[in-house]
């Protein structure tokens, strides 16, 4: 299949995800048009991207001038999707997770351009659900980025039943060009691959905390210095080969029976949410951040992740 050469990407929605997605493309040398309805969100986003680019440069992750990277991003406050699509070769939508809104955006893109490939960063809808009643369903594909999208290497690709092969190939090429690691979700299921595993871990964490088996602080230490440490460089299948499949089987036979099978989040988590303890964004969650600004907390966390990215990239080059 002949794949188009992509030069300009349209990113719709300059929120948490659109910000990181736009930065990733700009750092890879692509032109980006980033649009949002909200003027303040858009200008905050552009300021944050600049800071994030500076961090990448400081840590030697990219060799570029901040101005050169940000000059590739054209921020536009607009509702006019048709106007925004003009001159772009690929679209990624990162608007809120509301089915009706996403369908409306898809419809508007398709009425403006019948040729363009459109990716959705949806975290919970299948492409089959999104394209129902939408024109040119074969042009829509799923690209599931992970927060913070400018740092986490993985993007999960999922296709609907009608997604065209050429759209998949074009998307793969674009992800390679922008330095992302991809995996293909071979069947669309809720949570795709990674969020299913995260949810399974979260359920067991809820149980351990609720039963008073471990404190939240020790839980973080335990994970970071064991499975997290290992999984950052050896995948679970590689680890299982190290353990021995016979041993892994016996452990599963015993453990699966005693694991939590809760169908609802833990009461403690629900109480915290009711109290407004939402984490960094509200100043308090499992930890207390009230003595720092949100920006500073995130910058510190990103710095740790960027060290990890450096290691990851150096291993990828080996």
Ligand X SMILES: NC(=O)c1ccc[n+]([C@@H]2O[C@H](COP(=O)([O-])OP(=O)(O)OC[C@H]3O[C@@H](n4cnc5c(N)ncnc54)[C@H](O)[C@@H]3O)[C@@H](O)[C@H]2O)c1
Binding residues for ligand X (CB under 6 A):
12-18, 35-38, 41, 94-97, 105, 121-123, 145, 147
Neighbours of 276 (CB within 10 A): 9
Instruction: Tell me how far the alpha carbon of residue 99 is from its chain's centroid.
Output: 18
Neighbours of 282 (CB within 10 A): 15
Q: Select the residue whose beta carbon is closest to ligand X and give its number.
A: 15
Specify the residue, 36 or 206, whose C-beta has the smaller distance to ligand X: 36
Q: Report the distance separating Cα 237 and Cα 230, nearest Å.
A: 12
Specify the residue, 26 or 105, whose C-beta has the smaller distance to ligand X: 105
Residue 292 CB, shortest distance to ligand X, in Å, is: 21
Q: % helix / strand / coil in the chain, to the nearest 5? A: 50, 15, 35
Specify the residue, 117 or 120, whose C-beta has the smaller distance to ligand X: 120
Specify the residue, 18 or 137, whose C-beta has the smaller distance to ligand X: 18
Q: Report the distance separating Cα 14 and Cα 35, nearest Å.
A: 6
Residue 77 CB, shortest distance to ligand X, in Å, is: 9
Specify the residue, 50 or 230, whose C-beta has the smaller distance to ligand X: 50
Are 181 and 197 in contact, with CB atoms under 8 Å apart? no
Residue 88 CB, shortest distance to ligand X, in Å, is: 14
Neighbours of 86 (CB within 10 A): 12
Residue 16 CB, shortest distance to ligand X, in Å, is: 4
Residue 272 sits at φ, ψ, to 5 deg, of -60, -45
Residue 12 CB, shortest distance to ligand X, in Å, is: 5
């Amino acid at each position: 299949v002949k794949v188009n050469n992509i030069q300009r990407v349209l990113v719709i929605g300059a929120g948490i995800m659109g910000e990181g997605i736009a930065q990733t493309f700009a750092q890879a040398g692509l032109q980006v048009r980033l649009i949002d309805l909200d003027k303040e969100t858009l200008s905050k986003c552009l300021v944050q991207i600049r800071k994030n680019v500076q961090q990448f440069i400081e840590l030697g992750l990219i060799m570029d001038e901040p101005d050169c990277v940000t000059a590739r991003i054209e921020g536009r406050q607009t509702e006019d999707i048709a106007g925004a699509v003009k001159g772009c070769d690929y679209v990624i939508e990162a608007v809120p997770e509301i089915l009706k809104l996403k369908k409306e955006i898809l419809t508007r893109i398709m009425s403006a351009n019948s040729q363009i490939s459109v990716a959705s960063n949806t975290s919970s809808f299948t492409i089959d659900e999104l394209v129902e009643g939408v024109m040119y369903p074969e042009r829509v594909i799923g690209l599931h980025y992970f927060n913070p999208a400018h740092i986490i290497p993985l993007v999960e690709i999922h296709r609907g039943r009608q997604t065209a092969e050429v759209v998949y190939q074009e998307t793969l090429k674009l992800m390679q060009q922008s330095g992302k690691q991809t995996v293909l979700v071979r069947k669309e299921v809720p949570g795709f691959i990674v969020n299913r595993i995260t949810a399974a871990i979260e359920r067991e964490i809820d149980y351990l905390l609720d039963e008073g088996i471990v404190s939240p602080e020790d839980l973080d230490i335990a994970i970071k210095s064991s499975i997290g440490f290992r999984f950052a460089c050896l995948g679970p299948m590689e680890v299982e080969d190290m353990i021995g499949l016979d041993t892994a089987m016996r452990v599963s036979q015993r453990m699966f029976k005693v694991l939590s099978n809760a169908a609802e989040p833990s009461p403690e988590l629900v109480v915290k949410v009711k109290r407004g303890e939402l984490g960094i964004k509200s100043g308090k969650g499992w930890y207390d951040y009230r003595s720092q600004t949100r920006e500073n907390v995130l910058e510190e966390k990103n710095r740790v992740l960027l060290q990890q990215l450096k290691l990851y990239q150096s291993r990828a080059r080996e």
